[in-house]
Amino acid sequence: MAENTNTNINSSRAVLLVDAKPEQVKQLQKDMPRWLWIEAPKGWPFATEAVPTAQSFQAIIVFAQRKEGRQALNICKHIRQEKEMDCHPLLAAVDRYQMALAAEIKRLRRSHFIFTPIKEKALLDKISQVASTNQKKL
């Protein structure tokens, strides 16, 4: 696995993961080894000392855990208020039982939802969709 971290990663495909469970991160690393999956520090974005270093992320994904939808929505709203994070597409990873949450996320600026488990084609499509929406609004 160490060889993946240096030779096969496309740095333009770095994604910041917020509130992802370890098994979710492992699954993403297994399914999409060419992507750079960066886990946000615990407490981010609310803890100012836990802000990730300035990097070029292709997207930020907030994982909406079952029965914690409000927390995911609050995180997404907070990220959208941060000027340095405003340029990054924001996706909420939801399951099919969280459609009310998905609709609320979709209303946020530069935001959308993606169903779990996350598939590469769906991720690329959602990132492109949010990016094209951003260009239309500018």
Model confidence over 47-83: pLDDT tens digits? 755 555 556 789 999 999 988 889 999 999 999 998 8
Q: What is the DSSP letter of 51?
A: P
Output the pLDDT for position 84.
81
What is the sign, positive or negative, of the torsion defined by CA atoms of 47, 48, 52, 57?
Answer: positive
What is the maximum span of the chain, computed from C-alpha positions, in angstroms? 41
Q: Which two tokens stand for residue 60?
A: 């930020």
Q: Which of 69, 24, 7, 107 shows the shortest CA–CA distance to 15?
A: 24
In the chain, what percentage of residues exceed pLDDT 70? 82
**pLDDT of 129 higher than 70:** yes
pTM higher than 0.95: no
Which domains are assigned to the chain? 2-44+53-137 (3.40.50.2300)
Output the pLDDT for position 55.
62
Measured from the Cβ of residue 27, the count of other Cβ atoms closer than 10 Å reads 15
Of residues 85 and 130, more confidently modeled: 130
